[in-house]
A and B are shown apart, each in its own frame.
Chain A
Amino acid sequence: MTTLQLPYDLLGGVLHWLAAVLVVCAVGLFVGMVVSLLTVGPRGPGLVVDVLQRGLHDMLHMSARRIGAIASLTMKESFRKKAFAVLVVFIILFLMAGFFLRNPERPDDLPAKPYIAFVLMTIRWLTLPVALLLACWGLPTDIKDRSLHTVVTKPVRRSEIMIGRFLGYGAVTTIFLLVMSLIGYVFINRSVPELSQPQLVSRVPVYGSLTYLDRNGEPGEGVNTGDIWTFRSYIEGLTKAAAIWKFDNLDVERLKQHDGLRLENRFEAFRTYKGVIGQPIMFRITLVNPTKKLRVTNGDLVKGVAEFSEERQRSAALEEDPAAESFGGLRTESTISIPRTITYIDVSGDRGGDQAKTVDLFDDLIDGNSLTVEVTCQDRDQYLGTAQSDLFIRLPDRGFASTYFKSIFTMWLMLMLICLLGTTASCFVKGPVATLLTFSLFMLGEHLRPQMDHLLKQFNENDRQVLGGGVLESVYRIVLQMNPSQELPDNPAMTIMQWIDRRVFDMLGIFRNVIPNFEYFNTAAYTANGFDVSWNTALLPAIATALAYLLPCVLLGYFSLQLRELEAK
């Protein structure tokens, strides 16, 4: 089952990090020893130890004043060299944005999402090059102009230079980001049309786990309706098929402060026949308490599916707005309010005939601190598409500012990481190379990592083989026009080829672990869709990823500066 909303495994991450750092250090030490032996002979290893000792000493004897001096120098440099010209570009873009975003025929009718997405994307793609170029060109220019010469003849530790530079660029970028994000915030609030203003919210979802009953009421899977995208599973209408969400670890006391509970759905309908025009596919919600053997539902818990995504978003946001009712003439609601006391007809009928009963949502239906919600489709031969994240408890909303600035915060973490990587790279290569290196890391981390993950997953799950083979094998197959399922001839050359391919995959696995996962830093989708950027699934991994690179980068930068003759041109 696709489970999207997994909380981030911090402990696992930390252990993984420790392992990676230890391995990298060990390899670094080994390489250092070998290189020193080769270059200066038997004196080498002693020198390496000496360098390490000095390194430790330098790390422990840094001065905040010196770091501050270098950081503020860096900031002065950036501002006096007119880096803020970027802000002008930014403002011009925003002045013109109105033209692109507005629909001239129906100027009031545009959801908030494109505005938010536009602003966040613009900020991201304008601050990114600023951070990248500042961080990557600063130190190399300093070395080239030899102004660093004068600095290093003072009692400055190289680690202080590295950290001071990073902090300086970080601060400049932070100022840019702050200014831009404030302008962006005002822009969003002012430009989003009146009608869509309620979409500027921060919904706080609580997700549950999802299981299915098949059409005979047995535990099983949903139906695949032929969609290639297997994200949703479908349940058949008016059978015993059901999708069951179990929301665990609910903070019942907090929920009780609000009367009732809000659920929100993003179900999809799959129609096998056209049905009645204007009449949505209906589903029923049943609240279940397995311990007390309660199954509660009533007419109010039967709702229509919002079949188009825009409609879904609109109806979710406009819950309290009467306009929602009239939208498209459909009686669809994404938000389902469950009152605290529910009257229902008890069909289990211990005492003969059906009778109306009332239960208390929190006292009777919540079992311990978990709630079970069963969803069935109410239209015969139609299907209801469900995924784990399609039904969630919607806690009281937060203001739009909260999700917006959380997104900005993750962007800030990303920029800090870029500054850090850029500064580190510029400690050992020149400006253009450092820029290229950092940007490649960014692109790899943001766009290629998922592909790598996919390949590696296939490789590991598939008995260390990938369909069609690794690098060499696939080239071989392409050249000989063999299709992937054809057997390879059995000879030593092939064995060697496959052996090399497997090593390449192993390397890829190691390599992948070193590339920062930049996807963590892009939380714009949450904000644009009106969701909170949650701590567990979005903020924590971003923070952890950014922090993970701090120490290794500082060490790498320090040793590169230390072991390098700054004279080199």
Chain B
Amino acid sequence: MSAEAVIQTRNLSKTYRDFWGRPKVRALNSLTLDVNRGEIFGLLGPNGSGKTTTLKLLLGLLFPTEGDVSVLGKPAHDVSKNERIGYLPEESYLYRFLNADETLDFYGKLFDMPSKVRRERRDKLIEMVGLQNARRRQLKEYSKGMTRRIGLAQALINDPELVLLDEPTSGLDPLGTRDMKDLILKLKEQGKTVVMSSHLLADVQDVCDRIAILYAGELKVVGNVADLLQSQDETQILSSQLSPEAVQEVEAVLARHGATVKRVSHPTSTLEDLFLRTVEESKARPGRRFGPGEGPAAKS
């Protein structure tokens, strides 16, 4: 791999301290990690495992207790690196008294963009995140998902090289989740590097090239998703219109070859698939209702 590390951490540790400087929580312990240019990197781990802490350390929002960070070749505390970074915080920490247009304009100004560029980018991003109808409403009236969307638009205002997304899909409806994943893949196509944190394995599995799994501040696993998920000693057979007799025959054949059949079942689509297709179908043919077994799901 022609790997150029965009992010490098070396023995990065973070201990949260209280007002008096007494250690409270060791949130991150000796993390050594490289993220390469152009890849989608997933930070996984249960709640409280240190994902957000890691991202904040990368951004210089937190100061490391030990270890070093370099982002885009600069130390984390260097503000000039932020020119090329987009960050979507865990919850969208935005100004609730601004409307969508003003929000994007404000962040655009922080990048010192001239007003023409700001207007263009703003319109494009609002369209992209699907907030055209709410652009003049104050953010305090927004639903959670809408806030996430404007948060994302804000993160992309500077057309960043490196995008840090903290739980990008949280609070989004399945359609939004799908859009988000598509968007992340599109960012990758454009040659950008994406680091996202999540504890939703399905999300990560769909989009990430490489993942790291954190547990209680420690790095447990890091590697390629495909490699990590593939189990070499299992085979799945998928077929249609197989009669029970045929199944018995197949089992017999497998037994002859010394393999044991663990489970024979009909494949189910995930709930996510079902929901998605239902919504898609409903959009195409409004007013129709699907009963069990006849909807779009049954067709696959």
B83 cross-chain contacts in A, Cβ below 8 A: 155
Question: Does the CB pair A149–B89 fall under 8 Å?
Answer: yes
Q: Are B97 and A76 in contact (CB under 8 A)?
A: yes
Quick check: A565 and B62 within 8 Å, CB to CB? yes
- Tell me if B109 and A68 are in contact (CB < 8 A): yes
Which residues does chain A contribute within 8 Å of B94, judged by CB atoms?
147, 150
Q: Closest CB-CB distance, B157 to chain A, in whole Å? A: 9
On whether the beta carbons of A76 and B98 are closer than 8 Å, the reply is: yes
Residues of A within 8 A of B63 (CB): 565
Cβ of A223 within 8 Å of any chain B Cβ, yes or no, is: no
Closest to A70 in B: B110
Q: Which residues of B have CB within 8 Å of A56?
A: none
Given the interface pairs A150-B87, A155-B82, A155-B111, the reply to whether A567 lies near B61 with Cβ below 8 Å is yes
Contacting residues, chain A, for B109 (C-beta < 8 A): 65-66, 68-69
Task: Say whether A567 contacts B62, CB under 8 Å.
Answer: yes
Within 8 Å by CB of A149, from B93, B98, B107, B158, lies B93
List chain B residues, Cβ under 8 A from A106.
Answer: none
Q: Is B95 an interface residue (CB 8 A)?
A: yes
Scan B44-64; emit 1 where CB is below 8 A from any A CB, else 0. 000000000000100111110
Residues 65-109 (chain A) with a chain B CB within 8 angstroms:
65-66, 68-69, 73, 76-77, 80-81
Give Cα A112–Cα B28 distance, bound, in whole angstroms. Answer: 70
Q: How far is the CB of B204 from chain A (nearest CB, A)?
A: 23
Residues of B within 8 A of A58 (CB): 79
CB pair B110 A154 closer than 8 Å: yes
What separation, in Å, do the CA atoms of A149 and B154 have in the docked complex? 13
Complex Cα distance, B80 from A209, in Å, reads 60
- Give min CB distance, B129 to chain A, whole Å: 16
Is B85 at the interface (CB under 8 A from chain A)? yes
Q: In the complex, which residues of chain A have a beta carbon less than 8 angstroms from the beta carbon of B95?
A: 73, 77, 147
With the chains together, A81 CA to B98 CA distance in Å? Answer: 11
Mask, B91-112, CB within 8 Å of A = 1, is: 1111101100010001101111
Which one of B61, B79, B107 contacts A565 once the chains associate, using CB atoms below 8 Å?
Answer: B61
Please provide the chain B residues from 153 to 174 with a CB less than 8 Å away from any CB of chain A in the complex.
Answer: 154, 158
In chain A, what residue has the closest Cβ to B138? Answer: A80
Give the total of A residues in contact with B, Cβ under 8 Å: 29
Query: A149 and B61 in contact (CB under 8 A), knowing A66-B110, A77-B95?
Result: yes
> Are B106 and A153 within 8 A (Cβ)?
no
Contacts of A394 in B (CB 8 A): none
Q: Which of B63, B77, B95 has the most CB of A within 10 A?
A: B95
**Which A-chain residue is minimally distant from B102 (CB atoms)?**
A76
Using CB atoms, name the residue of chain A closest to B58. Answer: A153
Residues of chain A lying within 8 A (CB to CB) of residue B106: 69, 73
Q: Is the CB of B56 within 8 A of A156?
A: no
Q: Chain B 165-198, CB within 8 Å of chain A: the 1/0 string?
A: 0000000000000000000000000000000000
Kindly supply a per-residue 1/0 record for chain A positions 420-433, scoring 1 wherever the CB is within 8 Å of any chain B CB and 0 otherwise.
Answer: 00000000000000
CB atoms of B93 and A152 under 8 A apart: no
User: Residue A323 at the B interface, CB < 8 A?
Assistant: no
Chain B window 108-133, contacts with chain A (Cβ cutoff 8 Å), 1 for yes, 0 for no: 01111000000000000000000000
For chain A, what secondary structure do more than half of its interface residues adopt (helix, strand, loop), or is it mixed? helix
Q: Which residues of B contact A80 (CB under 8 A)?
A: 97, 138
- Does A26 touch B at the CB level, under 8 Å? no
B62/A147 in contact, CB under 8 A: no
Contact among A54, A146, A565 with B89 in the assembled complex (CB-CB below 8 Å):
A146
Q: Chain A residues near B154 (CB, 8 Å)?
A: 150
- Considering only CB atoms, which chain A residue lies closest to B151 in the complex? A150
- In this complex, what residue of B is CB-closest to A151? B110
A146 touches B93 (CB 8 A): yes
A66 touches B82 (CB 8 A): no
Whether A567 contacts B56 by the Cβ 8 Å rule is yes
Q: A63 in the interface, Cβ–Cβ < 8 Å?
A: yes
**Distance of A565 Cα from B63 Cα, bound (Å):** 7
Across the interface, which residues of B come within 8 angstroms of A69, CB to CB? 106, 109-110
Closest chain B residue, CB of each to CB of A69 = B109
Tell me, rounded to whole Å, the shortest Cβ–Cβ distance linking A147 to chain B.
5
Cα A151 to Cα B158 with chains together (Å): 13
> A263 near B: Cβ within 8 Å?
no
B54, chain A: closest CB distance, angstroms: 13
- In the bound complex, what is the Cα–Cα distance between A58 and B87 (angstroms)? 22
On chain B, the residues within 8 Å of A149 by CB distance are 61, 89, 93
- Select from chain A the residue with minimum beta-carbon distance to B84: A155
**A65-B109, A68-B109 known; A153+B59 contact, CB < 8 A:** yes
Q: Select one of B19, B82, B92 contacting A153, CB under 8 A.
A: B82
Q: In the assembly, what is the distance between CA of A36 and CA of B250, in Å?
A: 74
Residues of chain B within 8 A (CB-CB) of A567 are 56, 61-62
From A63, A65, A147, give the contact of B93 (CB < 8 A). Answer: A147
CB distance from B83 to the nearest CB of A (A): 5
Instruction: Give bound CA distance, A454 to B209, whole Å.
Output: 74
Instruction: State whether B79 touches A156 (Cβ < 8 A).
Output: yes
Q: Considering the complex, which residues of chain A in the window 20-36 have a beta carbon less than 8 Å from any beta carbon of chain B? A: none
Shortest distance from the beta carbon of A246 to any chain B beta carbon, whole Å:
60
Output the nearest chain B residue to A153 by Cβ-Cβ distance: B87
- A536-569 contact mask (Cβ, 8 Å, vs B): 1 or 0: 0000000000000000000000000000011110
For A81, the chain B residues whose CB sits under 8 A away are 97
| Cross-chain contact B89 with A154 (CB below 8 angstroms) | no
How far is B95's CA from A148's CA once the two chains are assembled, in angstroms?
9
Q: Which residues of A contact B87 (CB under 8 A)?
A: 150, 153
CB distance from A313 to the nearest CB of B (A): 50
Whether A156 lies near B61 (C-beta < 8 A) is: no
Inter-chain CA distance A567–B112, complex, in Å, is 25
Q: How distant is the Cα of A68 from the Cα of B87 in the complex, in angstroms? A: 22
Q: Check if A145 is an interface residue, CB within 8 A of chain B.
A: yes
**Do B89 and A150 touch across chains, with their CB atoms under 8 A apart?**
yes
4 A-B pairs with the lowest CB-CB distances in the bound complex, closest first: A69-B109, A154-B110, A146-B93, A80-B97
The chain B residues found within 8 Å of chain A, CB to CB, are: 19, 56, 59-63, 77, 79-80, 82-83, 85, 87, 89, 91-95, 97-98, 102, 106-107, 109-112, 138, 154, 158
A-B residue pairs in contact (CB < 8 Å), sample of 16: A65-B112, A68-B109, A69-B106, A69-B109, A73-B95, A73-B98, A76-B97, A80-B138, A150-B94, A152-B60, A152-B79, A153-B61, A155-B79, A155-B83, A565-B62, A568-B19
Q: Given A80-B138, A154-B107, A155-B110, output 13 extra A-B contacts at Cβ < 8 Å.
A: A66-B110, A76-B97, A76-B98, A77-B95, A145-B93, A146-B93, A148-B93, A152-B79, A153-B82, A153-B85, A154-B158, A155-B82, A565-B63
